[in-house]
Amino acid sequence: MENNGESKAKEVSLARAFFNWKTLAAVIVAGVIVYAFFHGFKREDLEMLAGHIQRMNLVAFAFGFLTYYMAYFFLGLRYKLLLENSGAKISLWQGIITCFMGAATNAAVPAKVGDLYRAYLLNKHSNIPVGQGLGANMGERILDLAFVFGIFFVMSRLLFAQGSSVLVSRLIESGSYLLGAAILVLILLLVPSTRNLTLAIFPGRARDFAKKFTEGVTGSLHRNWHWLIASSAGLWAMESLRLYFVTKALGVEMTVPQIIFTVMATTLLASIPVSFSGLGLVEGGITELLKIFRLDAALGLAVIICDRLISFVSVVVLGFISFLFVKDAS
Inside any domain, residue 242: yes
pLDDT at 4: 42
Task: Dump pLDDT digits (tens) for 170-219.
Answer: 888 888 888 888 888 888 888 888 888 888 888 878 888 888 899 889 88
Work out the pLDDT band at 3, boundaries 50, 70, 90.
very low
In this model, does residue 78 exceed pLDDT 90?
yes
6 lies in some domain: no
Span 84-103, pLDDT tens digits: 999 899 999 999 999 999 99
Whether the per-residue pLDDT at 27 is higher than 90: the answer is: no
Q: Is residue 12 part of a domain?
A: no
Angle subtended at Cα 59 by Cα 53 and Cα 60, rounded to the nearest 5 degrees: 75
Whether residue 58 is contained in a domain is answered as: yes
The range of the structural domain enclosing residue 191 comes to 17-325
User: What is 100-169 written as a DSSP string?
Assistant: HHHHHHHHHSSTTHHHHHHHHHHHHHH---HHHHHHHHHHHHHHHHHHHHHHHHHHHHHH-TT---HHHH
2 lies in some domain: no
The verdict on residue 7 lying in a domain is no
- Count the domains in the chain: 1
State how far the Cα of 21 lies from the Cα of 109, in Å rounded to an integer: 12
In a domain, 11, yes or no: no
- Residue 65 CB partners (closer than 8 Å, separation 6+): 242, 310, 314
Q: Helix H segments across 160-222?
A: 166-190, 192-200, 204-220
Neighbour-count burial of 91, counting CB atoms closer than 10 A to its CB (0-12 exposed, 13-18 middle, 19+ buried): exposed
Segment 6-19 shows an average pLDDT of 48
CA distance 327 to 9: 17
Q: Please report whether residue 330 resides in a domain.
A: no
